[in-house]
Homo-oligomer: A and B are copies of this chain.
């Protein structure tokens, strides 16, 4: 019934349990042939050292906590896939928790990670609650924020240069000749939304185009939000000829809303997204968007933790560049 312990192996090998411990960790303190004998016995008995007992004494769990708003978000799941890859390569396990962007839930997650004594924490969320971060840093464990940033002790970040990328995306539309360019954002207060919005404004400014507040609508970062937002925009007396969307899901919702009105992309209206999700190249028409190196960002975040575990000090903030991918959802305006 119970699991085979190190003492069971020791008994079987007629040695003490510390010797077994050393043999399995290839310590030079134990004679090579006894070590081999012990290892073969352990193998035969199907012995697996208990990570929990080990963690108790080493004070390391080899575990990292990953908080996401929801794992069902395609952007997030790709980031997590990158995290998981590097974590596993280095013997770390990933504990996943979703917060649903609910402050109460965030507190619970922080407590749970604290009790589990995770070695580090990765946060993938476009918004991070104010009560949340102090709680995380309370446990004196490094925290890496992905696509958000907060200057604080123990807190590092990996993010994309939202402003530059958004400016490039908007500039692309301007170069095509668009003058009335709308912005569909995420919910208010989300850091990356704010940054992408200011990139959009900067591009308008540089091109001496007027900023029209009525052309800014907010969705929910999902397809449905894009659908509603585009409805608002198209109902205007003088609708935009191009739309820059906060993210691809939003853009996909917008595409769908435009079709429902019998209009065509890019003939009647141009659309630009953000993220470059896998589906972005399979939409109709294929979506012009900003590529984010999602897996790479996850990998980089995990690597920061690993560095922190070994070297103590290293690079702590990484800013990556997005890349505008021009596909077929953008064209010069016809009007």
Contact = CB atoms under 8 A, between A and B. Distances in A.
Interface string A289-315: 000000100000000000000000000
Interface of A: 1-3, 46, 48-53, 55-56, 59, 61, 63, 66, 70-74, 77-78, 80-81, 84-85, 88, 93-98, 108, 111-112, 114-117, 138-140, 223, 252-253, 255-256, 259, 278-279, 281-284, 286, 295
A111 B48 contact: yes
Contacts of A51: 115-117
B94 A81 contact: no
A91 to B, nearest CB: 8
B252 A114 contact: no
A53 to B, nearest CB: 6
Nearest to A294: B72
A299 B15 CA distance: 47
Contacts of A140: 1
A46 B283 contact: no
6 contacts: A49-B115, A50-B115, A70-B81, A72-B278, A88-B112, A279-B279
Contacts of A70: 81
Contact of A282 (B78, B256, B278): B256
